[in-house]
Structure 1
Amino acid sequence: MEAIYIDKHYNLVVECKQGSKKACYELYRLYSKAMLNIAYRIVGNIGEAEDVLQEAFLHAFNKVHDFRQETTFGLWLKQIVVSRSINLLRKRKLEWTELEDEKMMNIPEEEIDEDEEKNYKVAAVKEAMKELPEGYRVVISLYLLEGYDHEEIGQILNITENTSRTQFLRAKRKLGEILSRKGITS
């Protein structure tokens, strides 16, 4: 038996399936900002992110009858936004590189502290991420900000899991260089 997830916006989804434009607008209002942020972190351009957002919502509303509550509406919509964002990057002919396993380094994760200095550093890291090459930015965003693992990223981007790990490690290294250049240290 399939699991059915009933989220707090279940009634809006039902109304949207019944053709309620008001319900569709309310879903858009509830999710558009978060979905725009996801698209922007992946594509790195606000105009393109807005286009991705509109396409994703159009797709979602056109396919809302196919949505079966096997997940939350927000997660379903996020998957559409990520997919549309990746498709846009593919249109740009994004090139991926792969390192051999023995050339990869294990970089330890830092502990996150909640004081103001850490919050400043988080903002600085997000700003520095905009300077990363597209392939690096996409993988590090999907991994760190969207919570996908390397296997999932590989499936989303149609690359190997090893390539995802490599891009992530290179992105972390490059991000460290950018932050160091700006005088921001860990």
Structure 2
Amino acid sequence: MTLTNQNIEQLLSLCQEGNQHAQMEVYNRYNKAMYNTAVRILKDSFWAEDVMQESFLIAFTKINTLDDLKSFGAWLKRIVVNNSIAEYNKTQKLNEVPLEGIMYKVADNDGLSHESQNKKEVKCIIEAMKTLKPNYNTGLTLHLIEGYDYDEICQIMNISYGNCRTMISRAKESLRKKLKLTVNKN
């Protein structure tokens, strides 16, 4: 039986033994999802790639500490989210401004199809989220896009349950106001 045909628990058992081929197969199965998680938080593909790679290294190094191999995906995602937030916070402290935030293209939006209109609306929402305060953006990304509940967000962001609910509520209201302004401009 080849590694590509084995189930994830079998592969993870091989990973615990240090099998590099099994590690590569696990990486191939999870890398796209983990990259997408990191890029949503970091908003930069190069940083997301680095954080994802580092997260896999951490996971494979500490895989023997994982009690239940069935929870590997959630455990790996938590590592990626924590590393992404740490990298994002480090970057914010350096006051770096990403180039994408400064440069933009103006596109002709006449005659848009329904699908491209939906893409335009999603892009508008994502752009509006980028203008939110960093903790609002992170909280909304974790809650609405990544699907974490309040308890998980509290642990990730190291805040109380009440603060989490208030922050997400205020973030949603702030996003609504920004989207209203955008709609009124167009």
Give me the TM-score of the superposition, normalised by structure 1.
Answer: 0.72
| Distance (Å, rounded) in 1 between the aligned partners of 2:163 and 2:44 | 24
1:20 matched to which residue of 2? 19
User: 1:49-128 to 2 correspondence within 5 Å?
Assistant: 49-69=48-68, 71-92=70-91, 121-128=121-128
| Distance (Å, rounded) in 1 between the aligned partners of 2:151 and 2:162 | 9
2:101 matched to which residue of 1? none
| Distance (Å, rounded) in 1 between the aligned partners of 2:176 and 2:155 | 27
| Distance (Å, rounded) in 2 between the aligned partners of 1:71 and 1:87 | 26
Cα deviations across residues 54-97 of structure 1 (Å, max 9, x unaligned)? 11111001111222226422111001111212222343467xxx
- What's the secondary structure of 1:183's corresponding residue? helix
| Distance (Å, rounded) in 1 between the aligned partners of 2:9 and 2:120 | 37
Let me know the Cα RMSD of the aligned residues. 2.7
| Distance (Å, rounded) in 2 between the aligned partners of 1:134 and 1:48 | 17
Structure 2 spans left out of the alignment, 5+ residues: 1-5, 94-113
Structure 1 spans left out of the alignment, 5+ residues: 1-6, 95-114
1:10 matched to which residue of 2? 9
- What's the secondary structure of 2:183's corresponding residue? coil
| Distance (Å, rounded) in 2 between the aligned partners of 1:123 and 1:71 | 35
- What's the secondary structure of 1:153's corresponding residue? helix
| Distance (Å, rounded) in 1 between the aligned partners of 2:73 and 2:174 | 32
Q: Is the 8 A contact 2:12 2:69 kept in 1?
A: no
| Distance (Å, rounded) in 2 between the aligned partners of 1:122 and 1:92 | 26
How far has the Cα of 1:127 moved from its partner?
4.2
Task: Compare 80-89 and 28-37 and name the one that shifted more.
Answer: 80-89
Matched residue pairs, number?
159
- What's the secondary structure of 2:174's corresponding residue? helix
**Aligned: 1:175 with 2:175:** yes
How far has the Cα of 1:120 moved from its partner?
5.6
How far has the Cα of 1:154 moved from its partner?
1.5
Give me the TM-score of the superposition, normalised by structure 2.
Answer: 0.72
How far has the Cα of 1:119 moved from its partner?
6.5
Q: 1:30 to 1:63 in 2, by over 3 A?
A: same
Q: 1:58 to 1:70 in 2, by over 3 A?
A: closer
2:98 matched to which residue of 1? none
**Aligned: 1:41 with 2:36:** no
In terms of Rg, which structure is larger?
Answer: 2
